[in-house]
Amino acid sequence: MTRLVLEMLLNRGRHAVLCPMFDAVVPGGIRLPGIEATALEDELPHAEMIIAFGGDGTILRAARAAADLGVPILGINFGSKGFIADIETEDIGLIDAAAAGKYKIESRMMIDVEVVRNGASISRDFALNDVVVKGENKVLDMMLFGDGQRILHFFGDGAVVATPTGSTAYSMAAGGPIVEPAAQNIIVTPICAHILEAKSFVLDSDRRVTVELGNKKQNPAYMSVDGGEHVKLLSGDVVNIHKSVKSTRLVRLSSRSFYENVSEKLGEKF
């Protein structure tokens, strides 16, 4: 499939190169005979578009690489759900429209995250999907704030702070709402909270969300950003999250609506 798309683009006069993103899958990276291969970071400054083959994880990784330069991303879904990808493998003919420049761009909100320990910043990152704070197999003492006002204090497995794009991922699985991805909101969802009134909150995008680890349950915890590497958290650490100046630009070719995708991918039958 990857070779087919590359050949379609080359046959239509487009310069296209293969940029393996997960070199660990095949020692030395993925190579296709006759197709130029190079590092994504080297190509981004000159790229008109990234075409990402895979599931949402692949697109999330591409989004992180492309955010500073604003290069749009077209996702071709090879995964199971693939809410971020625009087209499925059976829609591959739509690449013709992309090669001809006949596509729309949809901007997706991102969030910045910072971990503060004893008043000092120890980690900074940004996300397209979500920031997850979770215990290592034990419940945590957690406090959630919006603009400094307490939202919830609870014992539980953790919390998800998601963008609308990430609302159909871990946040939804934890009981959070499905939010239209082009919206501008921050979704705060407790994970398995041991309290009756624990609910998911949908906040304005300008709110500054704080996740604080209390001292009543000093259990090991970690933070992950878009499912990436874990950052170990200690009791008293503060995680600050707010809307980023960065955004992800997604290419839209398919005529399927978000609602159709939700119905299809979440198993609703008519």
The catalytic residue positions are: 56
- Residue type for 167, please? S
Q: What are phi and psi of 213, to 5 degrees?
A: -90, 120
Any bridge partners for residue 40, and if so which? none
CB 76 within 8 A of CB 59: no
User: Which residues in 122-150 are b (16+ Cβ under 10 Å) and which e?
Assistant: ebebbbbbbbbbbbeeebbbbbbbbeeee
> On the CB side of 90, how many CA atoms lie within 13 Å of its CA?
0
Give the pair of three-digit tokens for residue 244.
């980023």
Residue ranges with strand state E in the chain: 50-54, 73-77, 87-88, 104-117, 120-127, 130-135, 140-146, 149-156, 158-162, 185-191, 201-204, 209-213, 221-225, 231-233, 238-252
CA–CA gap between residue 100 and residue 112 (Å, rounded): 35
E strand or H helix at 32, and its extent?
A: none
CA–CA gap between residue 254 and residue 177 (Å, rounded): 24
